[in-house]
Amino acid sequence: MKQLPRIRFAQLPTAVEALPRLSAQFGGPQLFVKRDDQTGLAFGGNKSRKLEFLVAEAQANGARTLITAGAVQSNHCRQTAAAAARFGFDCILLLTTTGVKTKLPASSPPHEEDPGLSLRTPESYTSNLMLDKLLGAEIVWTETNRREEKLQETFNHAWQAGRRPYLIPYGGSNPVGASAYVYALIELLKQSHETVLEGLIPDWIVIPSSSGGTQAGLVLGAHISGYRGRVLGISIDEPAHVLKERVAKLAMSTAELLGERVSIDVENILVNDDYLGGGYGVMGESEKRAIQMFARLEGLLLDPVYTGRASAGLIDLLERNYFNRSDTILFWHTGGTPALFADPYQAMIL
Ligand SMILES: *Cc1c(COP(=O)(O)O)cnc(C)c1O
């Protein structure tokens, strides 16, 4: 594999732990978890791995400002802000105002950066949004339908102001970011003998999948390493056909970047979109139940948006005997736990 520029700051390899009490609930498959919520960098998460490569590329390009975009409670934005602080970049975050219920008080707060725009900015800065500010990021607000245009505009402004911006896409999911999960899959296979897996190779890897970089990297890593299990993405916000296509394309372009010749067929990408519920960021009863089960049976904290939904899907599939009784299943914890404390989730979780 071609070596890409990389700054090693994530806490790797992440631990693999057994989930015996949760496994016992379903009387069959053995469940494990890979703790990518513990990758370090401002509470950790899957974006640490991607940022090792993205920040290295930004540095190599002589950039001085990292720009990225996401939802109000974006973990990716929080971790990008932290990486920017750590490596001496300015950071501009473009946040969309949908996905979080906000009350608009009579005296709504002034809109940052764009006072003329009538947007529903959150009245309180909690959790990831609070951390973005604490980490020194500049925040620009946008509504969903203008976000592409606004992102370009923000980039152009920064460029014209001589700030040497580097644009990181949503979720850090371009070939540079996705390549991190090629290495993550190889890391998992390498560590199987030194962990509770005791040499077992999981039959299944279950992950939340959204911008697709995590799944694309794992799928490509599986091809390159000859991993024989399946990588099942539980879709967070996209119909399966859209996400499958995105993952396959990204896996192929990542292969090209790494100088690997592989052919990845859309039909071999496993995505389940049965658990979209009320849409992105809307925590329903099934997410709540799954988060409570992981917390109360294993003392493990998930997040309301991604791992909450993916674990709800996993639990449903277990209850419907989707897996063989002898299967080993690795749930890849991608992080996001700070959002547990965000409005409106914290009030709904109990
Ligand atoms: C970004 C994120 C994901 C989704 O990863 P993608 O690579 O965008 O599919 C999953 N879980 C958490 C906690 C995230 O922050």
List average pLDDT for each run of 10 residues in the chain, which is 350 residues long.
Answer: 97 98 95 98 98 98 98 97 98 81 42 46 84 98 93 98 98 98 98 94 98 98 97 98 98 98 96 97 97 98 98 98 97 98 91
Cβ of 328 closer than 6 Å to ligand 1, yes or no, is no
Closest Cα to residue 290, out of 268, 278, 305? 305
Closest Cα to residue 311, out of 336, 344, 345, 348? 336
φ/ψ (deg, to 5) at 33: -135, 140
Q: Whose CA is nearest to atom 1 of ligand 1?
A: 171
Cβ of 175 closer than 6 Å to ligand 1, yes or no, is no
Ligand 1 nearest atom to the CA of residue 50, by list position:
7
Cβ of 70 closer than 6 Å to ligand 1, yes or no, is no
> What is the reported pTM?
0.94
Task: Please indicate whether residue 263 is annotated as part of the active site.
Answer: no
Q: Which of 174, 334, 337 to mutate to test the pocket of ligand 1 (most atoms within 8 A of CB)?
A: 334
Cβ of 142 closer than 6 Å to ligand 1, yes or no, is no
In order of 19, 78, 153, 159, the CA distances from 165 in angstroms are 43, 18, 12, 6
Ligand 1 nearest atom to the CA of residue 214, by list position:
7
Q: Assess whether the previous peptide bond of 122 is cis (omega < 30° from 0).
A: no
φ/ψ (deg, to 5) at 16: -110, 130
Q: Are strands 30-35 and 16-18 parallel, antiparallel or unpaired?
A: antiparallel
Q: 209 C-alpha to center of ligand 1: Å?
A: 6
Q: 214 C-alpha to center of ligand 1: Å?
A: 7
Which residues are CB-neighbours of 19 under 8 A, at least 6 positions away? 31, 32, 33, 297, 298, 300, 331
Q: What is the pLDDT of residue 121?
A: 62
Scored b (16 or more CB within 10 A) or e, 280-304 reads: bbbbeebbbebbebbeeebebebbb
Closest Cα to residue 5, out of 211, 239, 180? 180
Q: Whose CA is nearest to atom 15 of ligand 1?
A: 75
Cα diameter, the chain: 61
Cβ of 14 closer than 6 Å to ligand 1, yes or no, is no
Q: What is the pLDDT of residue 107?
A: 40
Cβ of 335 closer than 6 Å to ligand 1, yes or no, is yes
Cβ of 48 closer than 6 Å to ligand 1, yes or no, is no
The active-site residue, picked from 74, 173, 179, 235, is 74
In contact, 91 and 136? CB cutoff 8 Å: yes
Q: 173 C-alpha to center of ligand 1: Å?
A: 9
Cβ of 254 closer than 6 Å to ligand 1, yes or no, is no
Determine the distance from the C-alpha atom of residue 253 to the mean position of all C-alpha atoms in its chain, rounded to a whole number.
19
Is the torsion defined by CA of 210, 69, 332, 22 positive or negative? Answer: negative
Q: 180 C-alpha to center of ligand 1: Å?
A: 13
Cβ of 334 closer than 6 Å to ligand 1, yes or no, is yes
State the amino acid at position 177 in one-letter form. G
CA distance 215 to 240: 13
Q: 140 C-alpha to center of ligand 1: Å?
A: 22
Q: How far apart are the first and last CA of the chain?
A: 47
Q: 186 C-alpha to center of ligand 1: Å?
A: 19
**Angle between the N-to-C axes of helices 213-225 and 175-191, in degrees from 0 to 180, rounded to the nearest 10:** 50
Q: What is the pLDDT of residue 119?
A: 52
Q: Which of 41, 73, 211 to mutate to test the pocket of ligand 1 (most atoms within 8 A of CB)?
A: 211
Q: 5 C-alpha to center of ligand 1: Å?
A: 22
